[in-house]
Chain A
Amino acid sequence: MQIELGHYLALSAIVFGIGAIGFLVRRNVLVQLMCIELMLNSVNLMLVAFNRYMPDNHAGQLFAFFVIAIAAAEAAVGLAIVISMFRLRKTVHSDRADTLRH
């Protein structure tokens, strides 16, 4: 069996779906952040796969490079917010982050 572009794209779509389901179902903020990382990673895989099949420039790989940098910044700020919320609420349960609701 020859590996086609479609295989990479389907794998990337499935991993994105798993990440999205995790983000919707889990209520632990840390696990939700990990699911965001899963989704970002799957998009990276898709970009790199497209770039391999159109190798006249490095646009896809450079885009994946920037996505990795932005994911690092996002993880840093997100975890800082988690720590701040834990200090305030003594929990990492996202349903308990409801100060603005009342």
Chain B
Amino acid sequence: MDLLNLFIAALLVNNIVLMRFLALCSYVGMTTDIGAALGMSWAVTFVMVLAGAVTWFLNNLLLIPFGLTYLSTLTFILVIASLVQLVELYLRKSVPSLYRVMGIYLPLITTNCAILGVTFINQREGYTLIKAVVSSAGVALGYVLALFLLANLRERIKNSNVPAPLSGYPIVFIMTALLSIAFMGFSGMAK
């Protein structure tokens, strides 16, 4: 029950994009078509859950016992960068079909702040391994949801008559504001 609570909180209540303002670059940049948005989302999900688990081990077995937590920024970003490389190599070699779907998005992920953000959130909350993985998965699916919603909205708005000064990015942010208001309705559902 505790885990379900945590999952819902990460997925909806504290939605990583709409409530916590992370990963906005890819949220705005990758949602011009639904296919690209989904490819990016799944690549992020994959790496995020993996990074959540790996950094947990690193944090609890290496950084905390040796009193090195002030190095966590440096360690986590390097771990994520190498993890992305490894995943890319592995997918290209062993699962080409999956690589075709999300391969081109993988290099972009290193600087996706949601992934680094999740590892910091996990670290600050002092989650156990299971909690860290569940929370990372919730955050990742929240990212998928936000990107999918916006990609669909942008598809719809292509044929609409947007006022000239608002066309392009401004209207995207105003739609995001409305989405964000909708998501505020979830607050109170879970801690």
Q: Tell whether A and B belong to one assembly.
A: no
